[in-house]
């Protein structure tokens, strides 16, 4: 419990700093653009042009892949979350060879630029294909997402990822607009530590308390939702949900 509270405090404490960093970044980028602009005729001096390597899988604006449902949308995710994932791919805390390779040569400053670029993209969501699952499975999915399962010590998704499931600034990713395949893959990756986090290993603990059928149920329900009109992550200050009394990082969950 305490560690979760301190994590949340830390995350909230970061919001003004993150905003300042983004502002500073904007100024820095503008200064840089001024020194480089026009140096190369015919090649746009833009982040979009620079990150062509990302776009070929994640889409020109990070909208996700139309052909491969396992490749996630990046557009509009919180910048802090995107940066953390890029850093995790660099350090090997999150494993996916093509991502580890593509971020290998990048500096911390450039990773911040790239995370900020995709966080700023505002492009429409596309509906994700949903596997045919039973009504019972969808009910179980809805229960876990909205209310959790206290008998298994599984908190609801909304308690951390925001009431609208669109994420919380600066670090909590949204769960809307992601495909069934991507969501199930991530939950399994948390279980097997193909994904890990430096802070409390909340998602690893939660994913390990879920049954395999729960992973399918949650993913199917989430992927089947019509994304809300406003997909932006909510600001940290708006997320006033009291911490769940059964926080997974309490005595029973710590160190798992």
Partner 1 sequence: MKWWRRGGWVPALLVVAGLGWWYVASGGQPAAAPAQRAADAAALRDPALIARGEYLATLGDCAACHTAQGGQRYAGGRSLGTPFGEVPAPNITPDPDTGIGAWSFDDFWRALHEGKGRQGELLYPVFSYTSFTKVSRDDALAIFAYLKSLPPVQRPDAELGLDFPYNVRSSLVAWRALYFKPGEFKPDPAKSPAWNRGAYLVQGLGHCNECHTTRDSLGGIEPDRHLTGGQIPQLGWYAPDLSMQAGGGLDGWRAQDIVDLLKTGQSAKGTAFGPMADVVRLSTQHMSDADLQAVATYLQSLPPRAQPASAPFSPAASHERGGQLYAQRCADCHGKDGRGVAGVYPPLDGNTSVTEPTGINAIRSVLLGGFAPATAGNPQPYSMPPFAQSLSDADVAAVVGYIRQSWSNRAAAVQPADVGNYRHTPVD
User: Which residues bind to partner 1, rule: CB under 8 A?
Assistant: 32, 39-40, 42-43, 47, 49-57, 68, 90-93, 97-98, 100-102, 104-107, 109-110, 113
CB of 117 to partner 1, least distance (A): 10
Task: Specify the residue, 159 or 185, whose C-beta has the smaller distance to partner 1.
Answer: 185
CB of 107 to partner 1, least distance (A): 4
Distance in angstroms (rounded) separating the CA atoms of residues 202 and 186: 13
CA-based nearest residue to 94, from 186, 181, 200: 186
Helix runs in 37-78, H state only: 47-50, 52-58
Neighbouring C-alpha atoms within 13 Å toward the C-beta of 114: 25
Task: Specify the residue, 59 or 204, whose C-beta has the smaller distance to partner 1.
Answer: 59
Task: Specify the residue, 92 or 242, whose C-beta has the smaller distance to partner 1.
Answer: 92
According to DSSP, residue 237 is labeled G
CB of 14 to partner 1, least distance (A): 22
CB of 48 to partner 1, least distance (A): 11
Task: Specify the residue, 102 or 123, whose C-beta has the smaller distance to partner 1.
Answer: 102
Task: Specify the residue, 84 or 137, whose C-beta has the smaller distance to partner 1.
Answer: 84
Q: Specify whether the backbone of 38 is left (phi greater than 0), alpha (psi in -120 to 50) or beta.
A: left
Task: Specify the residue, 45 or 142, whose C-beta has the smaller distance to partner 1.
Answer: 45
What is the distance of C-alpha 80 from the center of its chain? 9
Which of helix, strand or coil describes residue 149? strand
- Residue 28's alpha-carbon distances to 23, 32, 187, in angstroms, are 9, 6, 37
Q: Count the helices and strands in the chain (H runs, E runs).
A: 11, 0
CB of 91 to partner 1, least distance (A): 3
CB of 83 to partner 1, least distance (A): 15
């Amino acid at each position: 419990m305490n560690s979760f509270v301190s994590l949340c405090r830390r995350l909230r404490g970061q919001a003004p700093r993150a905003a300042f960093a983004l502002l500073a970044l904007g100024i820095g980028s503008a200064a840089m653009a001024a020194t480089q602009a026009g140096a190369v005729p015919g090649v746009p001096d833009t982040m979009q042009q620079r990150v062509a390597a990302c776009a070929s899988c994640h889409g020109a604006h990070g909208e996700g892949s139309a052909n491969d449902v396992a490749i996630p949308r990046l557009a509009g995710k919180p910048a802090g979350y995107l940066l953390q994932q890029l850093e995790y791919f660099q350090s090997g805390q999150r494993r996916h060879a093509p991502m580890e390779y593509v971020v290998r040569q990048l500096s911390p400053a450039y990773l911040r630029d790239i995370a900020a670029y995709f966080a700023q993209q505002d492009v429409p969501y596309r509906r994700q294909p949903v596997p045919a699952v039973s009504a019972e499975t969808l009910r179980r999915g809805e229960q876990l997402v909205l209310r959790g399962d206290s008998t298994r010590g599984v908190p609801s998704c909304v308690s951390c990822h925001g009431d609208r499931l669109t994420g919380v600034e600066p670090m909590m990713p949204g769960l809307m607009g992601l495909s069934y395949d991507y969501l199930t893959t991530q939950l399994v990756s948390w279980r097997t530590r193909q994904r890990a986090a430096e802070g409390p290993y909340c998602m690893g603990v939660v994913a390990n308390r879920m049954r395999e059928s729960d992973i399918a149920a949650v993913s199917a329900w989430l992927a089947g939702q019509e994304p809300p009109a406003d997909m932006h992550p909510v600001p940290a200050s708006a997320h006033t949900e009291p911490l769940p009394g059964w926080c997974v990082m309490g005595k029973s969950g710590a160190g798992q």
